[in-house]
Structure 1
């Protein structure tokens, strides 16, 4: 039986230090029926030339370039417009997948008749060294749980285009992934995840994810722009969000012995 095509959405910007590893982690997948659509957001380093060299040898790796620097959301939407797969998956240019990632998740979706799933993942530092931390999530994730905390690692999520269509991604600077998964959970109400780690999330030294203040600021903007809450409503939701971050979510972060 012919395998379903997976379209992998990858935005890139000045990613020359990491893009080769990211692409190789896709090329090394045991599930080989994929296309990797990379949209470069006007990189000023050698990112484009590196991708072009790889694409010459592997036609499944496709490069498109934006005419002006527009942000991650615009890049992802541009890649989404080019996607031909039944399934949409996401991998940023500095993150990595384990070799069995696609095979495990696609099989899990088919066996359980699911239009969406995600998985645990592990954290690495900028140099690619394990931080011995695995990020887990509720086995059955509800919309209400996701409302107060983004438990879905973007590098692990996969959805079925035949069920959802192509889900447009917000153009705001950060947290587009959270809004996308909220759109998914609004429709299906609950999500089941693969209870194993299938990817590595790279924590950059200067990343917004590393800054708690910036994280709070961008999450507040989600309550204001995506949920369209007034100032009081958004503030109350942020109190719920902070409670989740401080009390509930830490139990899903495990110390492990990690290896790449």
Structure 2
């Protein structure tokens, strides 16, 4: 029996420094039945040339280019429309997967009859050096917990498109992944992560908390727009969100001795 196809959704914009390594981390997977769908958002550097070179040597890599810069949400949505796999996975153009990422997650989903899962992940700096920081999550993540904190790293999520259908990606530029996970958990009530680190999240200098104020603004928008809460309701939710970030979430961030 042929293994199910995994469609990997990757938006890119001016990622010439990182995209080759990201693609290589997909090609290094022990699970090889995948398609990598990259949608470039009008890069002005050598990103497209690098992707084209890889795609010319691997038919599983597909490149699509937007006609104008439209943001990550539109790029992900465009890639999703092209996806043909049973499973939908996400990987941003500067992040990396560990070689057994897909295999372990798909085995975990099958063994536990799960239509969705994610995993822990490690943090690296701009040049790929380990920051000795691992981001974990509750082992039984509820919708309510996710409502006040996005515990799910975008680079780790996988869902079964036969179960959910293709979940629409919001067209906003930030926090689309959080809204997508909320849509999933609203249907299944809770999620289980693979309890180990399967990916590397790159923290770049120009995006380190690129600013805390921006983060608050984007999260407030999720509560007011996606959840359609009024000013008072959205404000109360933001207080709960900030409490979670400052008091609860640090329990799931661990100092480790990591190597790549």
Same fold by TM (over 0.5)? Answer: yes
Q: Is the 8 A contact 1:208 1:214 kept in 2?
A: no
| Within-5 A mapping of 1:18-29 | 18-29=18-29
Per-residue CA deviation, residues 27-70 of structure 1 (Å, 9 max, x unaligned), is: 00000000000000000000001100110000001100011110
Cα distance between partner residues in 1 of 2:27 and 2:243: 40
Partner of 2:103: 103
Cα distance between partner residues in 2 of 1:52 and 1:91: 18
Partner of 1:154: 154
Partner of 1:85: 85
Per-residue CA deviation, residues 97-117 of structure 1 (Å, 9 max, x unaligned), is: 000000000000011110000
Partner of 2:181: 181
Partner of 2:225: 225
Structure 1 residue 208 displacement after superposition: 6.2
Cα distance between partner residues in 2 of 1:146 and 1:115: 17
Cα distance between partner residues in 2 of 1:210 and 1:122: 19
Cα distance between partner residues in 1 of 2:144 and 2:120: 19
| Within-5 A mapping of 1:174-213 | 174-207=174-207, 209-213=209-213
1:246 pairs with 2:249: no
Partner of 1:14: 14
1:51 pairs with 2:51: yes
Structure 1 residue 225 displacement after superposition: 0.7
Partner of 1:118: 118
Structure 1 residue 207 displacement after superposition: 1.4
Q: Which secondary structure does the structure 1 equivalent of 2:50 belong to? A: helix
Structure 1 residue 206 displacement after superposition: 1.3
Q: Which secondary structure does the structure 1 equivalent of 2:155 belong to? A: coil
Partner of 1:132: 132
Q: Which secondary structure does the structure 2 equivalent of 1:193 belong to? A: strand
Cα distance between partner residues in 2 of 1:223 and 1:208: 23
Structure 1 residue 212 displacement after superposition: 1.9
Q: Is the 8 A contact 1:203 1:209 kept in 2?
A: no
Cα distance between partner residues in 2 of 1:36 and 1:214: 30
Gaps of 5+ in 1: none
Equivalent residue pairs, number: 260
Q: Which secondary structure does the structure 2 equivalent of 1:137 belong to? A: coil
Q: Is the 8 A contact 1:203 1:210 kept in 2?
A: no
Per-residue CA deviation, residues 194-222 of structure 1 (Å, 9 max, x unaligned), is: 00000000011111644222111111110
Aligned-pair RMSD on alpha carbons? 0.8
Q: Which secondary structure does the structure 2 equivalent of 1:84 belong to? A: coil
